[in-house]
Structures are given as structure tokens and as C-alpha cells.
Amino acid sequence: MAVSTAAPEAARVKARRVLPGFGLAMGTTLAYLGVIVLLPLAALLLKSAEIGPARLVDIVTAPRTLAAFGVTVGAAALATLFNAVYGLLMAWVLVRYRFPGKRLLDALMDLPFALPTAVAGIALTALFARNGWFGAPLEGAGIKVVHTIVGIAVAMAFTSVPFVVRTVQPVLEDLSKDIEEAAATLGAYPFTIFRRVIFPAILPAFITGLSLAFARSLGEFGAVIFIAGNLPMQTEIAALLIFIRLEEYDYPAAAAIAMVLLIAAFVMLLATNTVQFWLTRHARKES
């Protein structure tokens, strides 16, 4: 038994070595990653370490920094909440229904990724400004978007919605309709089918999409700064505060706040992977 499985394995390993270019490809990859990606990241790490723990805590817990973190996380949460509904709706509609203009609608879901963030930023600001197409009627209704946390959330929602749509869409496409049809024949309501059959199946992808969108919103800069108003303590996001500290040549503060954003991004990534791993294992056990 052992011999029969080992032989093709050995042959495959040998065949792999037939192809040339391992040294060149690997060397190029590692050198480039080292110089372009890892070296700058290491520099940020070292420079933040130089600051010393006491000073680091001072910078990160300063009222203005804390306020900026609060605004950033709050707006990102609002944006992600909105995209949980809108993104899921778009994925569902694009996979499940046939209607004229569907391919165009599908293509449009990539526009926020393709459009430069600064361009999205000034466009959204023009729309929601007091005399803008959306801003004027909203102002009449007593709702102010520009220069508020809602405006920041609007910008974040715009730039991050494709994450939700494009993560859920393929999973929904691959979902077999058998179980759903069985549930329907047994007399389950459409909503019950969605809640009990479809939603659990797409949940890992949905959570991944949401955390990608949330992470992107935490670091978003270009789309936000035009609509935000950038008032310290009120509508100033963390990314902008980094920028301001750099302009003041306060490099330790810039490094410290950047470190926090970097760590937040990696923690999000790790958490997503863990949740996804746990959910898929859980789902497998149930079935």
C-alpha cells in the first residue's frame, strides 16, 4: 500500500523539478518583497519602538487621537452596517434574478474600486453639499450630511461596498438549490428558507466581506477628507490625523497612530480568518 502511493508521489516531485527558473523566480520575489514591502514596514516598526512605551501611550491616549479613533471606528461601523444590507441585497439580486440591465448593474458594483478615492470624495461632497442634488432636499428635511460623521460614513460605504458584494456573490452562485427546493416543497416560507438554509451557508463569506469592508473603511483617506470637514475632536479621522502630524514634523506621533491602524488591520485579518475557520468547521460538523 505504502509503496503504491509513494511511487507516483515521488514521480510528481521529480517532475516538478523538471521546470527551470525556481531560483530566479524565488530570488526576484523575495528581493522585491524585502525591499518594497518588508523594509518600509520594518522601518515603521523600529521607529515606533524607538518612541518608548510611556510616550507611545501618551500619544495614543491623547484626547484628539482618541476622538479621531472614535470617529473613524464609529463611521466605519455605520458604513459597514449599511453595506451589510445593501451589499447583501446586491449580491442576492445579481445571483438570483434575471432582468434587463443585469450585466451593467453587475459591472457597476466595481466602480467604487475603479474610481480614484479623491474623485469619489469630491463627487460625493458635491452631491451632499447644501446646494447639491442630494444635499438640498436633505437639508430641507433637516438632515445634514457634509461635515458630519454621516458624511464620513457615506464616503466609507461607497468605497467599501464591493468587498461585501464580491465576497458573497460567488458563494451564493455555488449554492445548490436542492435544499432550498426541498424546504419549499415542505411548505417553508421564502423568508424561513433564507434564514434557515441560505443565510447559514453564506455566513462565512458574508462575515469576511463585512470585515474586509470595515478594515478598508478604517484606513480610508481620499474619499473621506473632502466630505468630513476635518474638525478636530469632531469629524477628524485617524488617517487624516497621521497626515497632520507629518505636516507638523511630529514623526513619533505619526508613526504611533499609523502603528495602531496597521495593528488594527492585521487583527481584523486574523479575526476574519479565525471566524471563517470556525464557521466552516461548524457547518461541516452539522452536515
Partner 1 sequence: MHSRRGAQALVIIAVVLTALLIVTPLIVIFAEAFAKGWAVYVANITAPDTRHAILLTVLVAIVVVPVNMAFGLAVAWAITRFRFPGKKLLLTLVEVPFSVSPIVAGVTYIMLYGGQGLLGPLLNAWDLQIMFSVPAIILVTLFITSPFVARELIPLMQAQGSEQEEAAATLGASGWQIFRRVTLPNIQWALLYGAVLCSARAIGEFGGVSVVSGNVRGETNTLPLQVELLYHDYNTAGAFAAASTLALIAVVTLALKAFFESRAGHRATV
User: Closest approach of Cβ 286 to partner 1, in Å?
Assistant: 27
38 binds partner 1 (CB under 8 A): yes
233 binds partner 1 (CB under 8 A): no
200 binds partner 1 (CB under 8 A): no
Q: Which stretch binds partner 1 (CB under 8 A): 56-64, 103-111, 144-152, 276-284?
A: 103-111
Integer Cα distance of 174 and 250 in angstroms: 51
96 binds partner 1 (CB under 8 A): yes
Integer Cα distance of 242 and 246 in angstroms: 6
209 binds partner 1 (CB under 8 A): no
- Interface positions, 45-64, toward partner 1 (CB under 8 A): 46-47
What is the residue type of 169? Q
Q: Which stretch binds partner 1 (CB under 8 A): 13-21, 56-64, 143-151, 279-287?
A: 13-21
Q: Which stretch binds partner 1 (CB under 8 A): 32-40, 51-59, 136-144, 198-206?
A: 32-40
137 binds partner 1 (CB under 8 A): no
**Number of residues in contact with partner 1, rule: CB under 8 A?**
86
